[in-house]
Amino acid sequence: MNDRVARLRKESLEAIPSISTERAELITEFYQKAGTVSAPMRRALAFKHLMENKTICINEGELIVGERGPAPKATPTYPELCCHSLQDLDILNSREKIPFAVSPEARAVYEEKIIPFWQGKSMRDLIFAEMAPEWKAAYKSGIFTEFMEQRAPGHTVLDDKIYQKGFLDFKEDIKKSMESLDFLNDSDAYNKMEELKAMDICADAIIRFAERHGEKAQELAQAEQDPIRKGELEKIAEICLRVPAHPPQTFWEALQAYWFVHLGVITELNTWDAFNPGRLDQHLYPFYKKGLADGTLTHESAEELLQCFWVKFNNQPAPPKVGVTAEESGTYTDFANINTGGLRADGSDGVNDVTYLVLDVIDEMVLLQPSSNIQLSKKNPDRFLKRACKIIRKGWGQPSIFNADTVVEELLRQGKSIEDARNGGTSGCVETGAFGKESYILTGYLNLVKILEVTLNNGLDPRTGEKIGLETGDPVGFSSFADLMAAFRRQLKHFVDIKIKGNNIIERMYAAYMPAPFLSIIIDDCIAKGKDYNDGGARYNTNYIQGVGLGSLTDAVSAIKFHVFDEHNLTMAELLAALRDNFSGHEKTRRLLLNKTPKFGNDDDYADDVMMDLFNAFHDEVSGRKNTKGGRYYINLLPTTCHVYFGSVTGATPDGRKAWQPLSEGISPVQGADRHGPTAVIKSAAKMDHARTGGTLLNQKFTPQVLEGEEGIDNLAHLVRSYFKLGGHHIQFNVVDAATLKAAQSNPEQYRDLIVRVAGYSDYFCDLSKALQDEIIARTEHKSF
């Protein structure tokens, strides 16, 4: 990277996340004066107020301009959604993980202006007030989390429309939709008109926001002494005065147009999964080709612009989270996850020159944000996969790899058109979506293991002693494994019912109070329907419940089936006593459960059949249920950091896991339970029907030696292709460093699945002698500085 990019990158990495009260002050000021208008109009006028008054920030040397806050990593708050208390601010300022600096001035603004106005009136307050006692009990117990208690529904990704149309064109579309309203026969015509008027105001507001950047750039250009920078600023001014009002004509304009749209979405509301340009290589390719042809762009200048674009993402940490939301998603990453590769709408190979350019940028920038993935179809060339593998080998976890063909199958199965499916991809962690056309809301994590715990305690949460579930019977009286499964299914239904009842209320509350007219402009078919994104305006409206701990659940149920019902090594009463005592005084039993039980992740049909029963139970309970927006529910299997939180509220489990320890993550096997290598993990993981989910997450961990040389890359590529042949949705790799190996040495139970390259072969790290481990640790250390 050149000096400019290196400096911007360094500044981004060194910037300290802080709380900016500017947005909170502007929104409060607006709401204090807001008259009687419809909800979409109120939100549109609030958006306009923000866009017209927020600080315009153009950083020294940058080519892509615009920040969400007044400076990089100065992070706004959204008091209309979640009004932080002074105590929250103090926690944010002082907590060890994911802190945000809160200045005394910011604290004072909150104390004097923000809290007095919003206390008791934020969405968070309203939501908790509406939830039923059984919802609150389950939430408190850690059965599920609630995604919309601090952040707005988002979970959507843009398609290519802003590269074809400017916001002036969208205004035309809005006008046409208004003109077609039927006030004679459509009882909803007034509501649609209000929504469309709101969208029109938002379109003007984003154009004005861009113009303000143009004006600022002109000012800076006039004062600039350096002729080169002066020229750049003049160019920036010209671009900001053109896009996004008009469709972009160059590579640079395309990136800047997207960035203004991005800032609009994440300023309007604090939508989950930030926002995301999606299939960036597809969108940019026409501009790249044109620029090279007419001489306005070179490979180098395109790369520099992309690198500057990357820095902009890294400047925007996820808005500050507190409470359970911080537990389930404890990260600065805001899940903008750029897709490369995949298929074109006509089903042909989507890999192009920009694909490799984007991979180069990922490789060089090494930034956590934006996150990146490749969409790998059987039609994509191996060199594309191998290029990605070479980045993965460097060990910082990007890009992750998705099976584009399975993603298309998942979307088709949910009823999308073939073109919309092929233009889709994945976002957030692993979530499948029809980009630009779908609202796919993650509503909360579901603690599958805790539901088993409640089943084994006949409806009680043993941690609190509270009755939160159904009385499905004392398990000591279960005469067969089928009895256990039936009880589990009833308990599961009970909690899914509670969760979805709550979701239905929260969904309506967002539709009523927090429409998103700006976001609605750019997601089909909100304009055509005259309906808001948060009210079913999107072409597809999908809801997800994300299951957590499938590996832990499988091993726990497999242990009961094997030891209690099949082999009679233990009675149910003995097992329950051991769990109650957290295995204290039952170490032999714990070892039996840990070491002599068929476990998920070993290509062992005994355990994997149990997994499939449980997967099907979860799937059948959730999939196909209706939401309030005309769409349906489906399942996802991903955890973010929730497996740690859910583990911390779940007692000892029949797989030998002690109380409060993390659960398994994604669809990965329990940490250390997979002892037959990565091919066996892949075989086990592929046995569930990925096409019936909206995303699954599989983590694999290797030491750098395993992936050395061309052979290492070939082997990794073969592993990925094999998993995808079997229908797997996603896989990601950890390539671990010496620090992890040392941790593995002192804590081997947690690292049983860690594979190391020894000499001409691979072995489990924990099975090696201390001396050999030391030698491998030393070797790895030579590779990191």
Partner 1 sequence: MFWPDRCIGCDECLQVCSSGAISSRELDSKCTLCGNCIPVCHAGARELVGRQVAVSDLMREIEKDIVFYDQSGGGVTFSGGEPLMQADFLLAMLKKCGEKEIHAAVDTTGYATAETVRKISPYTDLFLYDLKLINDEDHRKFTGVSNKPILENLLFLASINHNINVRIPIIPGINNSEENISAIGEFISSLKVVKEINILPYHKTGAEKYSRLKKVYLLPELDPPAAGEIEVIAARLKAYGLKIKVGG
Residue 384 CA: distances (Å) to CA of 355, 380, 387: 8, 7, 5
Q: How far is the CB of 671 from partner 1 (least distance, A)?
A: 17
- Under the criterion CB under 8 A, does residue 768 sit at the interface with partner 1? yes
Q: Which residues pair with 445 in a beta bridge?
A: 546
Q: Helix H segments across 623-766?
A: 642-648, 677-685, 709-725, 738-746
Instruction: Name which of 477 and 760 has its Cβ closer to partner 1.
Output: 760
Is residue 406 near partner 1 by the rule CB under 8 A? no
For 268, the 3-state DSSP assignment is helix
Establish if 752 lies at the interface with partner 1 (CB under 8 A). Answer: no
Which stretches of 371-458 are DSSP H helices? 382-392, 404-413, 418-422, 448-456
Burial per residue of 564-595, b for 16 or more beta-carbon CB atoms within 10 angstroms, e otherwise: bbeeebbebeebbebbeeebeebeebbebbbe
Q: What is the dihedral of CA 490, 492, 493, 496, to 10 degrees?
A: 160
Minimum CB–partner distance for residue 245 and partner 1 (Å): 50
Q: Does 595 bind partner 1 (CB under 8 A)?
A: yes
**Strand ranges (DSSP E) for 314-409?**
337-341, 371-376, 400-403
Question: Whose CA is closest to 670, among 599, 756, 763, 591?
Answer: 599
Residues 597-636 within binding reach of partner 1 (CB under 8 A)? 603
Site for partner 1 contains 299 (CB under 8 A): no
C-alpha to C-alpha distance for 318 and 429, rounded to whole angstroms: 14
Q: Is 762 in the site for partner 1 (CB under 8 A)?
A: no
Among residues 10 and 725, whose Cβ is nearest to partner 1?
A: 725
With H, G, I as helix, E, B as strand and everything else as coil, classify residue 658: coil
The answer to the question of residue 1 lying near partner 1 (CB under 8 A) is no
- Runs of H (alpha helix) within 224-250: 227-242
Catalytic annotation present for 431 = yes
Nearer CB in complex with partner 1: 24/717: 717
Q: Does 587 bind partner 1 (CB under 8 A)?
A: yes
- The answer to whether residue 383 forms part of the interface with partner 1 (CB under 8 A) is no
Q: Are 726 and 405 in contact (CB under 8 A)?
A: no
Residue 651, both tokens: 């007692």
Beta carbons within 10 angstroms of residue 296's beta carbon: 14
Helix-helix angle 353-365:280-294, to 10 degrees: 110
The 17-56 site mask, x for binding partner 1 (CB under 8 A), equals ----------------------------------------
Distance CA 252, CA 313 (A): 16
Among 591, 624, 689, 783, which residue sits at the site for partner 1 (rule: CB under 8 A)? 591
Q: Is 364 in the site for partner 1 (CB under 8 A)?
A: no
| Helix%, strand%, coil% for the chain, nearest 5 | 55, 10, 35
750 binds partner 1 (CB under 8 A): no
Q: Does 195 bind partner 1 (CB under 8 A)?
A: no
How far apart CA 416 and CA 314 sit, in angstroms, is: 33
- Decide: is 126 part of the binding site for partner 1 (CB under 8 A): no
What CA–CA distances, in Å, run from 26 to 32, 151, 445? 10, 19, 33
* By CB under 8 A, residue 714 contacts partner 1: yes
**Chosen residue from 175, 176, 588, 783 binding partner 1 by CB under 8 A:** 588
The nearest distance, CB 723 to partner 1, in angstroms, is 9
Nearest CB to partner 1, comparing residues 625 and 779: 779
Q: What angle do CA 441, 443, 444 make, to 5 degrees?
A: 140
Determine the interface stretch with partner 1 among 50-58, 87-95, 476-484, 765-773 (rule: CB under 8 A).
Answer: 765-773
| Identified catalytic residue from 57, 202, 389, 429 | 429
Nearest to partner 1 of 596, 626 (CB atom): 596
Q: Find the shortest distance in angstroms from Cβ 753 to partner 1.
A: 15
| 276 touches 433 (CB < 8 A) | no
- The reply to whether omega before 317 is within 30° of 0 (cis) is no
- Residue 303 in the binding site for partner 1 (CB under 8 A): no
Give yes or no for residue 586 binding partner 1 (CB under 8 A): no
- Residue 721 in contact with partner 1, rule: CB under 8 A: yes
Of 53, 218, 722, 745, the residue at the interface with partner 1 (CB under 8 A) is 722
23 or 657: CB nearest partner 1: 657
Q: Tell the smallest beta-carbon distance from residue 762 to partner 1 (Å).
A: 11
The reply to whether 470 sits near partner 1 by the rule CB under 8 A is no
Query: 624, 718, 783, 784: which one contacts partner 1 (CB under 8 A)?
Result: 718
Binding mask 679-698 for partner 1 (x = CB under 8 A): x---x---------------
Q: Work out how close the CB of 595 gets to partner 1 at its nearest, in angstroms, rounded to a whole number.
A: 4
User: Distance from CA of residue 209 to its chain's centroid?
Assistant: 28
User: Given the rule CB under 8 A, which of 295-303, 370-378, 419-427, 767-775 is the region that contacts partner 1?
Assistant: 767-775
What is the total count of residues that contact partner 1 (CB under 8 A)?
Answer: 25
If residue 262 lies in a helix (H) or strand (E), which one and from where to where?
helix 251-268
Q: Which member of 772, 774, 779, 781 binds partner 1 (CB under 8 A)? A: 772
Residue 25 known to be catalytic? no
Among the listed residues 589, 636, 693, 700, the single contact to partner 1 using CB under 8 A: 589
Residues paired with residue 19 on neighbouring β-strands, in sequence order: 75
Among 432, 429, 430, which residue's Cα sits nearest to residue 421? 432
Q: Out of 22, 253, 303, 431, which one is annotated catalytic?
A: 431
Least Å distance, CB 375 to partner 1, is 19
Q: At closest approach, how far in Å is the CB of 772 from partner 1?
A: 7
Pairing of strands 540-548, 755-757: unpaired
Q: Which residues are catalytic?
A: 429, 431
Report the interface residues with partner 1, using CB under 8 A.
Answer: 587-589, 591-592, 595-596, 603, 679, 683, 714-715, 718-719, 721-722, 725-726, 758-760, 763, 768-769, 772
